[in-house]
Each structure stands twice: as structure tokens, then as C-alpha cells.
Structure 1
Amino acid sequence: MITITSDSLNISLALLKEANFTRDQIFYNDGVHSHQVLGLNIKYEDFEIGGMYLRQETRYTLVLHAADCIEFWFDREQVRFESRKIVLPHSNVGLPSELAQHNF
């Protein structure tokens, strides 16, 4: 089980790109709740410079449990997030009950 936060996204991005989300248990802690990460989507920008085609990663989307997503990108080595509406659940969701006892 691995838990990442907003502060660790820059160093954990390589891990997220290689992760097998059906086998590995990876969680994103937003400071209030831990959400299970179900996938990572990468948005690319394709462009041409001097006859060469290049592809650059521009944005990333963490797909979380309960159909929630967090979109982020890096701007001068600093992580930036897309604005999103926060809805606080009435109970602790996103952490399977068999792992909840180990969350401290």
C-alpha cells in the first residue's frame, strides 16, 4: 500500500506511470480523506519543430474511487491543480474497510 499526497506528486509520477492499478493499492490523501487511485490519464501536446514531430506530456488526471478525478500539471517544477468542487461525504469513503484499520 502506497499513499501519495499533493506534495509528493512530482516524485511519485514515475511510479504512477508504471503502476498496475488492478494489482497495486495506491491511495491519494487530499488532507481530509484517502482515496484509492484507479488510474492515471496523461494528456499530450503534439507539435512540430524544424521538421521533427515531438510529443510532450502537458497534464495528468488521477482517476479516483467513486468516479472522482484530480487534474494536475507542473509549472516550473511546481504542481498546479485544476479547480474542482469539493463535496464532503457524510462518512469516510475511499478506503476499503480491510485497510481502514491500518490508516493512522
Structure 2
Amino acid sequence: MDSLYLLFQNDKDVRELVEIPLKDRVKLIGVSRYTDFDNGDKPAFNGAYPFLQDSNFGAIFGKLMQLCDATFSDPQQREAFKSLVKENLSEWYNKETGYTFKMTEQLVKSK
């Protein structure tokens, strides 16, 4: 059986990981968040969070690099801008996925 590991951060900046067993193999698309109210009001929609899979990130990354190529006619400016975009995107992606992966590894090892 597959599992989905949901990493979240609470209001005290503590990150927690929750395991959700999946009955079948599924293609993960995203998560929607709703808030339940104590006064009996209907739950309120708080946002949608699409899953950014490696293959999707690669496609977006490639398109952004094409945009960078089309932004400047001067080769030196173009390469400098492209380098900045590439560095910042890679840093963000590696930080986010790396932290999630480490938390998941720890959870799986603790079982």
C-alpha cells in the first residue's frame, strides 16, 4: 500500500508530517484546505495547493529558461539574468523538496 506524507507548519512554526494511507496507486494532483468553524457555519475554502512533481517542475523550469533567452538581446545580460533565475529557482526547489524528503525518510525509518 502506498502512503501520502503531508508536511505542514502550524502557527508556532513547528513542522509536522502526517501519513495518509492510499488504497490504490493514484496520480496526486493537489490538496484543498477548508476551515471548520465552531459556531456551525459551513466550512470555508482556504486555498488549493497543487502538487509540483519533478516532471512538472522540469517543464516549468525549461519554459522559464526560454523566456529568459527571449528577454535580452545582449548575450552578456541574457546569461546573467538566466543565471540568476536558474540559481533562485533551483535553491527554492531544493530547499522545499529536500526538507520534505528528510522528514519523510525519518518517519519511514521510525516505523
TM-score range for the pair, normalised by the shorter chain length: under 0.3
TM-score scaled by structure 2? 0.24
Higher relative contact order (CA 8 A, sep 6+): 1
Structure with max Cα Rg = 2
TM-score scaled by structure 1? 0.25
> By percentage of residues, which structure has more strand?
1
> By percentage of residues, which structure has more helix?
2
